[in-house]
Amino acid sequence: MSQNNKSTDRSMNGQVGEDGNQFLTFQLQDEEYGIEILRVQEIKGFSRITPIPNSPRYIKGVMNLRGAVVPIVDLRVKFNLPEMEYNRFTVIIVVTVGAKVMGLVVDAVSDVLNVGANEMEETPDLGEGVDTSFMTGIAKTGERLITLLNIDKLAGTDESVAPSVVA
């Protein structure tokens, strides 16, 4: 069960690939975020979630993904944004973290973005209290500012999601 370190190899570790990468962008509150497209397994409409007892609040529970039991993380809760009622735009982005699969609840998916190396900037210091460890950097295209997330770190910042990836 611990053959899940493979994908961390291609995780970005704060480094942006020289030729840039493709990102799936999505919205949370009024902000745009991006995750590496290669890590996205599929995008699903919101479906019934079963709560997992004694779990952190941002773990919404698990859902049945074609027979697999997949944990669902609400990124709003994870990022300390105000919670929102799930609606018809609410989607779950299914991503792979090592050998594990998890779902991320986001407000809506925007598009797929090609981000060239020159369009990326280091994550600025956002001051005390803002955890930037799971951000890879910021992409600027035209007027848009997109925060790029490192899925492994995101999952790894909390033991409860994918402890084996951090270990």
Taking CB under 8 A as the binding criterion, the range among 15-23, 45-53, 119-127, 141-149 that sits at the site for another protein is 45-53
CB-nearer residue toward another protein: 29 or 64: 64
Site string for another protein, 120-159 (x = CB under 8 A): ---------------------------------------x
Cβ-proximal residues to 142 (8 Å cutoff; 6+ apart), any chain? none
Q: Residue 133 corresponds to which tokens in the numbers above?
A: 């460890």
The piece of 46-54, 81-89, 133-141, 146-154 that touches another protein (CB under 8 A) is 46-54
> Which residue type, as a one-letter code, is found at position 80?
N
Instruction: Return the SS3 of 130.
Output: coil
Judged by CB under 8 A, the number of residues near another protein is 26
Q: What contacts 26, CB < 8 A, 6 or more positions away?
A: 32, 33, 34, 35, 91, 93, 106, 107, 108, 109, 110
What is the Cα–Cα distance from 14 to 133, expressed in whole angstroms?
A: 9
Q: Is 1 in the site for another protein (CB under 8 A)?
A: yes
Residues 56-115 that bind another protein (CB under 8 A): 61-64, 66-71, 100-102
Contacting residue, 9, 18, 19, 53, with another protein by CB under 8 A: 53
For residue 143, how many other CB atoms are within 10 A of its CB?
Answer: 5
Contact positions vs another protein (CB under 8 A): 1, 48, 50-55, 61-64, 66-71, 100-102, 159-163
